[in-house]
């Protein structure tokens, strides 16, 4: 049977990380990232929409292509209230997930769950390209050694993100009502937990027999939000055999 585990981890790779290793309050850190994303959408909505529209073209250089989305004022606003000690560190996937979640709430507000997904072609997703992980010619000496020592971990993290990308589309297509309910719930709420639990059968169905993986709530909700937004804004086509 496929198995899926949700774990509240905040360490490692491209999940949420903080400056203070001793602080381990996952829910509060999620709230900081959520506030940051809300601020960025308010200040740079058009750029965020453009960035998500080009998601399939590659995600590893996302931050370099859209530096406006790393709004320093938004970082200050997100951390000022209770987290002045937190240093936010962003991976591309974190930004995709957080921005997509807020865009669902703002741009799709009031819309019912999708019922026409049969008219939406399969989404394009980023592809793994070994060349993306070749070291820069400018890296020399110890910097080159350090990069080569960590490149396998980078590849594994990117493959995990690609898996979540496809997985998220499968979950949304399988249960658009349940995923819309999840994304309508506040981050860290009992309602969020309830809707996520209700999706458990679908989550398992989107895994291949014998397959397992681990994801925290931020990653799971983010992958669903990213694909929900992309599917909601994708072109609708006329089904084969349908009258024109």
Q: Is residue 148 part of a domain?
A: yes
What burial class does residue 244 get, using C-beta atoms within 10 Å of its C-beta: 0-12 exposed, 13-18 middle, 19+ buried? Answer: exposed
3-state secondary structure of 4: strand
pLDDT score recorded for residue 85: 44
Give residue 114's pLDDT: 94
Residue 237 falls inside a structural domain: no
**Per-residue pLDDT, 18:** 35
pLDDT confidence of residue 89: 59
> Quick check: is 65 in a domain?
yes
The residue with tokens 């349908």 is: 242
Residues 229 and 110: their CA atoms lie apart, in Å, by: 14
Residue 242 lies in a domain: no
Residues spanned by the domain of 188 = 3-232
What is the reported pLDDT for 6? 37
Q: Tell me if 94 is assigned to some domain.
A: yes
pTM of the model: 0.80
Q: How far is CA 160 from CA 95, 115, 166, 167, in A?
A: 16, 29, 10, 10
Domain count, the chain: 1
Q: Is residue 239 part of a domain?
A: no
What string of pLDDT tens digits covers the 244 residues of the chain? 233 333 333 333 333 333 333 345 778 778 888 888 999 999 999 999 998 888 876 555 666 788 888 877 887 777 765 544 445 555 677 788 999 999 999 999 999 999 999 999 999 998 887 887 888 889 889 988 888 888 888 888 888 888 899 999 999 999 999 999 999 999 989 999 999 999 999 988 898 766 777 788 888 999 999 999 999 999 998 554 544 4
Is there a domain that residue 170 lies in?
Answer: yes
Task: Tell me whether residue 72 is in a domain.
Answer: yes
């Amino acid at each position: 049977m496929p198995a899926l585990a949700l774990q509240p981890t905040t360490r490692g790779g491209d999940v949420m990380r903080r400056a203070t290793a001793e602080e381990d309050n996952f829910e509060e850190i999620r709230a900081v990232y959520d506030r940051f994303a809300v601020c960025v959408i308010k200040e740079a909505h058009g750029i965020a929409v453009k960035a998500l529209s080009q998601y399939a073209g590659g995600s590893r250089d996302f931050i370099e292509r859209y530096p406006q989305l790393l709004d320093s004022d938004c970082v200050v606003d997100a951390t000022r209230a209770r987290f002045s000690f937190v240093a936010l560190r962003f991976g591309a996937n974190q930004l995709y997930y957080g921005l997509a979640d807020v865009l669902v709430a703002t741009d799709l507000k009031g819309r019912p769950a999708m019922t026409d997904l049969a008219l939406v072609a399969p989404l394009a997703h980023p592809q793994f390209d070994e060349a993306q992980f070749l070291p820069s010619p400018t890296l020399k000496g110890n910097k080159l050694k350090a990069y080569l020592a960590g490149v396998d971990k980078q590849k594994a993290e990117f493959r995990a993100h690609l898996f979540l990308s496809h997985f998220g589309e499968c979950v949304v297509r399988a249960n658009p009502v349940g995923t819309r309910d999840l994304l309508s719930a506040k981050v860290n709420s009992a309602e969020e937990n309830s809707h996520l639990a209700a999706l458990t059968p679908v989550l398992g169905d989107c895994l291949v027999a014998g397959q397992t993986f681990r994801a925290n709530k931020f990653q799971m909700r983010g992958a669903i939000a990213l694909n929900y937004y992309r599917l909601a804004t994708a072109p609708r086509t006329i089904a084969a055999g349908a009258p024109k």
